[in-house]
Amino acid sequence: MAQSNGPSTIPIVDFSAFPNGGKEEQEQVARQIDNAFRQVGFVYLKNHAIPREKVDECFSWSKKFFALPMETKMLAPHPPSGAHHRGYSAPGVEKVTQHQYEKDDIAKSRQVPDYKESYESGNVNDDSQPNIWPPEEELPGFRTFMESYFTECAALIHRILDALSITLALPEPGLSPTHSKSLFQLRLLHYPAIDAAELKNNKRSRINAHSDFGTMTLLFQDDVGGLEVEDSNHPGKFSRAGPIDDAVLVNIGDLMMRWSNDRWRSTVHRVGLPSPKALSIPGSGVNTEGQRNSGKLVELEDAEGAVVPDRYSIPFFATADMDTVIEALPGTWGEDRPKKYEPVTAWGYVQMRMAATYEE
Ligand code: CA
Protein backbone atom coordinates (compact mmCIF):
# COMPACT_ATOMS: atom_id res chain seq x y z
CA MET A 1 0.00 0.00 0.00
CA ALA A 2 1.00 3.61 -0.47
CA GLN A 3 2.71 5.04 2.58
CA SER A 4 3.76 8.52 3.51
CA ASN A 5 7.13 7.90 5.14
CA GLY A 6 9.10 8.42 1.93
CA PRO A 7 9.07 11.36 -0.44
CA SER A 8 5.48 12.45 -0.12
CA THR A 9 4.46 12.10 -3.73
CA ILE A 10 5.89 8.73 -4.78
CA PRO A 11 3.86 5.69 -3.68
CA ILE A 12 5.51 2.64 -2.12
CA VAL A 13 4.08 -0.64 -3.38
CA ASP A 14 4.66 -4.17 -2.10
CA PHE A 15 5.44 -6.18 -5.24
CA SER A 16 5.56 -9.62 -3.61
CA ALA A 17 2.47 -10.79 -5.54
CA PHE A 18 4.66 -11.00 -8.67
CA PRO A 19 5.24 -13.52 -10.04
CA ASN A 20 3.63 -15.96 -7.58
CA GLY A 21 0.56 -14.28 -6.08
CA GLY A 22 -3.08 -15.07 -6.79
CA LYS A 23 -5.00 -13.31 -9.55
CA GLU A 24 -6.86 -10.93 -7.26
CA GLU A 25 -3.76 -10.02 -5.33
CA GLN A 26 -1.88 -9.33 -8.57
CA GLU A 27 -4.70 -7.15 -9.85
CA GLN A 28 -4.63 -5.11 -6.68
CA VAL A 29 -0.87 -4.53 -6.88
CA ALA A 30 -1.06 -3.77 -10.59
CA ARG A 31 -3.72 -1.12 -9.88
CA GLN A 32 -1.43 0.57 -7.35
CA ILE A 33 1.42 0.67 -9.85
CA ASP A 34 -0.92 1.98 -12.55
CA ASN A 35 -2.03 4.78 -10.22
CA ALA A 36 1.55 5.69 -9.35
CA PHE A 37 2.59 5.85 -13.01
CA ARG A 38 -0.48 7.93 -13.86
CA GLN A 39 0.03 10.41 -11.03
CA VAL A 40 3.80 10.67 -10.67
CA GLY A 41 5.45 8.39 -13.24
CA PHE A 42 7.52 6.89 -10.38
CA VAL A 43 6.93 4.11 -7.86
CA TYR A 44 8.99 2.48 -5.11
CA LEU A 45 8.72 -1.32 -5.23
CA LYS A 46 9.40 -3.35 -2.11
CA ASN A 47 9.80 -7.13 -2.18
CA HIS A 48 10.94 -6.94 -5.79
CA ALA A 49 12.72 -10.32 -5.47
CA ILE A 50 16.26 -9.10 -6.18
CA PRO A 51 17.99 -10.17 -2.96
CA ARG A 52 19.39 -7.37 -0.83
CA GLU A 53 22.79 -9.09 -0.78
CA LYS A 54 22.91 -8.91 -4.57
CA VAL A 55 22.07 -5.21 -4.58
CA ASP A 56 24.73 -4.57 -1.92
CA GLU A 57 27.22 -6.65 -3.86
CA CYS A 58 26.56 -4.65 -7.01
CA PHE A 59 27.35 -1.44 -5.11
CA SER A 60 30.59 -2.90 -3.77
CA TRP A 61 31.68 -3.99 -7.26
CA SER A 62 30.85 -0.51 -8.48
CA LYS A 63 33.03 1.05 -5.76
CA LYS A 64 35.86 -1.34 -6.56
CA PHE A 65 35.65 -0.57 -10.24
CA PHE A 66 35.65 3.21 -9.86
CA ALA A 67 38.49 3.01 -7.32
CA LEU A 68 40.77 1.48 -9.98
CA PRO A 69 43.48 3.76 -11.40
CA MET A 70 42.28 5.84 -14.34
CA GLU A 71 44.58 4.02 -16.76
CA THR A 72 43.04 0.69 -15.73
CA LYS A 73 39.49 1.97 -16.14
CA MET A 74 40.52 3.29 -19.55
CA LEU A 75 41.25 -0.29 -20.61
CA ALA A 76 37.48 -0.54 -21.08
CA PRO A 77 36.77 2.80 -22.75
CA HIS A 78 33.32 3.92 -23.89
CA PRO A 79 33.66 4.30 -27.69
CA PRO A 80 33.60 7.90 -28.92
CA SER A 81 30.75 7.04 -31.31
CA GLY A 82 27.29 8.04 -30.09
CA ALA A 83 25.77 4.67 -31.00
CA HIS A 84 27.70 2.23 -28.83
CA HIS A 85 26.86 2.75 -25.15
CA ARG A 86 29.18 0.41 -23.33
CA GLY A 87 32.28 0.72 -21.17
CA TYR A 88 33.81 3.45 -19.03
CA SER A 89 33.27 7.20 -19.34
CA ALA A 90 35.54 9.47 -17.27
CA PRO A 91 34.22 12.52 -15.37
CA GLY A 92 33.61 15.42 -17.69
CA VAL A 93 34.09 13.35 -20.85
CA GLU A 94 30.50 12.41 -21.32
CA LYS A 95 28.87 15.82 -21.57
CA VAL A 96 26.13 16.41 -24.06
CA THR A 97 25.98 12.97 -25.63
CA GLN A 98 22.55 11.73 -26.54
CA HIS A 99 21.96 8.49 -24.73
CA GLN A 100 19.85 5.80 -26.21
CA TYR A 101 17.92 5.77 -22.97
CA GLU A 102 18.11 9.28 -21.59
CA LYS A 103 17.27 12.60 -23.13
CA ASP A 104 19.32 15.38 -21.65
CA ASP A 105 18.14 18.89 -21.51
CA ILE A 106 20.78 19.88 -24.05
CA ALA A 107 20.81 23.61 -23.48
CA LYS A 108 21.25 23.23 -19.73
CA SER A 109 23.88 20.52 -20.12
CA ARG A 110 26.03 22.88 -22.11
CA GLN A 111 25.93 25.46 -19.34
CA VAL A 112 26.49 23.16 -16.37
CA PRO A 113 28.64 20.07 -16.84
CA ASP A 114 27.58 16.84 -15.12
CA TYR A 115 30.23 15.71 -12.66
CA LYS A 116 30.13 11.92 -12.78
CA GLU A 117 31.81 8.82 -14.17
CA SER A 118 30.01 5.76 -15.47
CA TYR A 119 30.42 2.17 -16.60
CA GLU A 120 27.82 0.60 -18.87
CA SER A 121 27.13 -2.99 -19.83
CA GLY A 122 24.27 -4.71 -21.59
CA ASN A 123 22.79 -8.00 -22.71
CA VAL A 124 25.47 -10.55 -23.59
CA ASN A 125 23.43 -11.34 -26.73
CA ASP A 126 23.26 -7.75 -27.95
CA ASP A 127 25.37 -7.93 -31.12
CA SER A 128 24.76 -4.30 -32.02
CA GLN A 129 26.41 -3.10 -28.80
CA PRO A 130 28.96 -5.66 -27.58
CA ASN A 131 30.04 -5.30 -23.97
CA ILE A 132 33.40 -3.73 -23.18
CA TRP A 133 34.85 -5.35 -20.05
CA PRO A 134 38.03 -4.48 -18.18
CA PRO A 135 40.62 -7.29 -18.43
CA GLU A 136 39.54 -10.10 -16.08
CA GLU A 137 42.80 -10.01 -14.10
CA GLU A 138 42.27 -6.33 -13.22
CA LEU A 139 38.98 -7.04 -11.42
CA PRO A 140 38.37 -10.80 -11.22
CA GLY A 141 34.68 -11.67 -10.89
CA PHE A 142 33.36 -8.26 -11.99
CA ARG A 143 32.14 -9.45 -15.37
CA THR A 144 30.47 -12.59 -14.02
CA PHE A 145 28.65 -10.61 -11.36
CA MET A 146 27.47 -7.87 -13.74
CA GLU A 147 26.15 -10.46 -16.19
CA SER A 148 24.13 -12.14 -13.44
CA TYR A 149 22.85 -8.80 -12.07
CA PHE A 150 21.72 -7.90 -15.57
CA THR A 151 19.68 -11.11 -15.67
CA GLU A 152 18.02 -10.34 -12.31
CA CYS A 153 17.11 -6.81 -13.38
CA ALA A 154 15.81 -7.95 -16.76
CA ALA A 155 13.56 -10.48 -15.02
CA LEU A 156 12.17 -7.72 -12.80
CA ILE A 157 11.42 -5.55 -15.85
CA HIS A 158 9.43 -8.44 -17.32
CA ARG A 159 7.46 -8.88 -14.08
CA ILE A 160 6.59 -5.18 -14.07
CA LEU A 161 5.50 -5.49 -17.72
CA ASP A 162 3.23 -8.33 -16.58
CA ALA A 163 1.70 -6.02 -13.97
CA LEU A 164 1.16 -3.27 -16.53
CA SER A 165 -0.45 -5.79 -18.90
CA ILE A 166 -2.92 -6.73 -16.17
CA THR A 167 -3.94 -3.10 -15.59
CA LEU A 168 -4.76 -2.73 -19.28
CA ALA A 169 -6.45 -6.17 -19.43
CA LEU A 170 -4.18 -7.13 -22.34
CA PRO A 171 -4.59 -10.72 -23.52
CA GLU A 172 -1.83 -13.13 -22.42
CA PRO A 173 1.13 -12.98 -22.77
CA GLY A 174 0.82 -9.19 -22.61
CA LEU A 175 3.71 -6.77 -23.02
CA SER A 176 6.57 -9.06 -22.07
CA PRO A 177 7.16 -10.39 -25.64
CA THR A 178 7.62 -6.81 -26.88
CA HIS A 179 10.81 -6.78 -24.79
CA SER A 180 11.77 -10.36 -25.67
CA LYS A 181 15.35 -9.50 -26.63
CA SER A 182 15.91 -7.63 -23.34
CA LEU A 183 18.22 -5.15 -25.05
CA PHE A 184 18.61 -3.26 -21.81
CA GLN A 185 21.47 -1.37 -20.19
CA LEU A 186 23.00 -1.64 -16.73
CA ARG A 187 24.83 1.54 -15.75
CA LEU A 188 27.11 2.01 -12.76
CA LEU A 189 27.36 5.67 -11.77
CA HIS A 190 29.80 7.39 -9.44
CA TYR A 191 29.44 11.03 -8.52
CA PRO A 192 32.72 12.10 -6.89
CA ALA A 193 32.57 14.19 -3.73
CA ILE A 194 32.00 17.83 -4.57
CA ASP A 195 31.81 21.18 -2.78
CA ALA A 196 28.24 21.83 -1.70
CA ALA A 197 28.60 25.42 -2.92
CA GLU A 198 29.37 24.28 -6.47
CA LEU A 199 26.20 22.22 -6.66
CA LYS A 200 24.14 24.83 -4.92
CA ASN A 201 25.24 27.63 -7.22
CA ASN A 202 24.85 25.45 -10.32
CA LYS A 203 28.53 25.69 -11.20
CA ARG A 204 28.45 21.95 -11.59
CA SER A 205 25.65 19.41 -11.58
CA ARG A 206 25.42 15.72 -10.76
CA ILE A 207 22.83 15.06 -13.47
CA ASN A 208 20.87 17.83 -15.15
CA ALA A 209 17.10 17.65 -15.46
CA HIS A 210 16.07 15.06 -18.06
CA SER A 211 13.50 12.42 -18.79
CA ASP A 212 14.35 8.82 -19.63
CA PHE A 213 14.15 7.70 -23.20
CA GLY A 214 12.97 4.10 -23.21
CA THR A 215 10.07 2.26 -21.63
CA MET A 216 11.11 1.97 -17.97
CA THR A 217 14.06 2.51 -15.66
CA LEU A 218 14.95 0.77 -12.40
CA LEU A 219 17.07 2.82 -9.99
CA PHE A 220 19.10 1.53 -7.07
CA GLN A 221 20.68 4.33 -5.02
CA ASP A 222 22.95 4.56 -2.00
CA ASP A 223 22.23 6.48 1.22
CA VAL A 224 23.48 9.86 0.02
CA GLY A 225 20.40 10.89 -1.93
CA GLY A 226 20.00 13.97 -4.10
CA LEU A 227 17.54 12.63 -6.68
CA GLU A 228 14.67 15.03 -7.28
CA VAL A 229 11.51 14.53 -9.31
CA GLU A 230 9.56 17.33 -10.95
CA ASP A 231 5.96 17.91 -9.93
CA SER A 232 4.20 17.59 -13.29
CA ASN A 233 1.42 19.88 -12.10
CA HIS A 234 3.96 22.54 -11.12
CA PRO A 235 6.79 22.53 -13.68
CA GLY A 236 10.06 23.72 -12.14
CA LYS A 237 9.08 22.49 -8.68
CA PHE A 238 11.13 19.44 -7.65
CA SER A 239 10.76 17.19 -4.62
CA ARG A 240 13.19 14.66 -3.19
CA ALA A 241 13.07 11.01 -4.18
CA GLY A 242 15.66 9.65 -1.79
CA PRO A 243 16.56 6.05 -1.10
CA ILE A 244 14.13 3.82 0.81
CA ASP A 245 15.47 0.66 2.44
CA ASP A 246 15.16 -2.43 0.26
CA ALA A 247 13.05 -0.65 -2.33
CA VAL A 248 13.85 -0.11 -5.99
CA LEU A 249 12.63 3.08 -7.62
CA VAL A 250 10.94 2.52 -10.99
CA ASN A 251 10.03 5.20 -13.49
CA ILE A 252 8.32 5.44 -16.85
CA GLY A 253 10.30 6.63 -19.90
CA ASP A 254 9.24 8.70 -22.90
CA LEU A 255 8.63 5.72 -25.19
CA MET A 256 6.21 4.12 -22.72
CA MET A 257 4.44 7.45 -22.20
CA ARG A 258 3.80 7.66 -25.93
CA TRP A 259 2.82 3.97 -26.14
CA SER A 260 0.30 4.41 -23.32
CA ASN A 261 -1.24 7.43 -25.05
CA ASP A 262 0.07 9.59 -22.16
CA ARG A 263 -1.71 7.47 -19.53
CA TRP A 264 1.63 6.90 -17.77
CA ARG A 265 3.91 9.89 -17.25
CA SER A 266 7.57 10.17 -18.11
CA THR A 267 8.60 12.61 -15.42
CA VAL A 268 11.59 14.96 -15.47
CA HIS A 269 14.17 14.30 -12.76
CA ARG A 270 17.69 15.40 -11.77
CA VAL A 271 20.40 14.81 -9.19
CA GLY A 272 21.56 17.75 -7.10
CA LEU A 273 22.28 18.71 -3.52
CA PRO A 274 21.20 15.95 -1.13
CA SER A 275 19.44 16.54 2.15
CA PRO A 276 21.71 18.49 4.57
CA LYS A 277 22.26 15.42 6.74
CA ALA A 278 24.53 13.92 4.07
CA LEU A 279 26.98 16.85 4.21
CA SER A 280 30.15 17.35 6.23
CA ILE A 281 33.11 19.70 6.54
CA PRO A 282 36.23 17.54 6.29
CA GLY A 283 38.97 18.14 8.84
CA SER A 284 36.95 20.66 10.81
CA GLY A 285 35.29 18.22 13.16
CA VAL A 286 31.99 19.54 11.87
CA ASN A 287 29.76 16.74 10.76
CA THR A 288 26.09 16.14 10.57
CA GLU A 289 25.86 14.82 14.14
CA GLY A 290 27.44 17.95 15.59
CA GLN A 291 25.30 20.15 13.44
CA ARG A 292 22.18 18.25 14.34
CA ASN A 293 22.92 18.58 18.04
CA SER A 294 23.48 22.29 17.74
CA GLY A 295 20.36 22.69 15.59
CA LYS A 296 22.33 24.06 12.64
CA LEU A 297 21.83 21.23 10.19
CA VAL A 298 20.16 23.23 7.46
CA GLU A 299 22.86 25.92 7.56
CA LEU A 300 25.54 23.36 6.80
CA GLU A 301 24.90 23.49 3.06
CA ASP A 302 25.82 27.17 3.13
CA ALA A 303 28.89 26.69 5.31
CA GLU A 304 32.27 27.30 3.71
CA GLY A 305 34.01 24.04 2.79
CA ALA A 306 30.88 21.88 3.17
CA VAL A 307 31.27 18.77 1.07
CA VAL A 308 28.71 16.51 -0.54
CA PRO A 309 30.06 12.96 -0.23
CA ASP A 310 30.55 10.54 -3.11
CA ARG A 311 27.31 9.10 -4.42
CA TYR A 312 26.86 5.77 -6.20
CA SER A 313 23.73 4.80 -8.09
CA ILE A 314 22.76 1.99 -10.43
CA PRO A 315 20.11 2.66 -13.06
CA PHE A 316 18.88 -0.14 -15.33
CA PHE A 317 17.31 1.08 -18.57
CA ALA A 318 14.72 -0.92 -20.51
CA THR A 319 13.30 -0.43 -23.95
CA ALA A 320 11.17 -2.44 -26.38
CA ASP A 321 12.56 -4.65 -29.16
CA MET A 322 13.43 -2.34 -32.04
CA ASP A 323 10.79 -3.79 -34.41
CA THR A 324 7.96 -3.27 -31.90
CA VAL A 325 5.23 -1.00 -33.23
CA ILE A 326 4.54 1.72 -30.70
CA GLU A 327 0.88 2.57 -31.08
CA ALA A 328 -1.62 3.46 -28.34
CA LEU A 329 -2.11 0.25 -26.33
CA PRO A 330 -5.59 -1.22 -25.95
CA GLY A 331 -7.21 0.27 -22.87
CA THR A 332 -5.42 3.64 -23.25
CA TRP A 333 -7.67 5.10 -25.94
CA GLY A 334 -11.32 5.22 -26.86
CA GLU A 335 -14.09 7.54 -27.99
CA ASP A 336 -13.40 9.99 -25.19
CA ARG A 337 -9.63 9.62 -25.44
CA PRO A 338 -8.41 9.58 -29.05
CA LYS A 339 -4.97 8.30 -30.04
CA LYS A 340 -2.52 11.20 -29.73
CA TYR A 341 0.39 9.83 -31.75
CA GLU A 342 1.06 8.15 -35.07
CA PRO A 343 2.35 4.57 -34.89
CA VAL A 344 6.14 4.29 -35.01
CA THR A 345 8.53 1.39 -34.48
CA ALA A 346 10.79 1.55 -31.44
CA TRP A 347 13.67 1.87 -33.92
CA GLY A 348 11.96 4.72 -35.77
CA TYR A 349 11.36 6.48 -32.47
CA VAL A 350 15.05 6.35 -31.56
CA GLN A 351 15.95 7.79 -35.00
CA MET A 352 13.40 10.55 -34.57
CA ARG A 353 14.75 11.54 -31.16
CA MET A 354 18.36 11.44 -32.34
CA ALA A 355 17.51 13.69 -35.31
CA ALA A 356 15.75 16.15 -33.03
CA THR A 357 18.81 16.29 -30.82
CA TYR A 358 21.23 17.03 -33.63
CA GLU A 359 19.05 19.92 -34.79
CA GLU A 360 19.39 21.68 -31.44
CA1 CA B 1 17.27 9.07 -15.55
pTM value? Answer: 0.90
3-class DSSP assignment, residue 72: helix
CA of 210 to the centre of ligand 1 (A): 7
What is the C-alpha separation between 212 and 286, in angstroms, rounded? 38
What is the C-alpha separation between 55 and 145, in angstroms, rounded? 11
Q: pLDDT tens, 141-187?
A: 999 999 999 999 999 999 999 999 999 999 999 999 999 999 999 99
CA of 294 to the centre of ligand 1 (A): 36
CA of 233 to the centre of ligand 1 (A): 19
Beta-strand (E) ranges in 109-175? 117-122
CA of 269 to the centre of ligand 1 (A): 7
Say whether pLDDT at 41 is over 50.
Answer: yes
CA of 102 to the centre of ligand 1 (A): 6
Q: pLDDT tens, 183-233?
A: 999 999 999 998 888 888 877 788 888 899 999 999 999 999 899 999 878
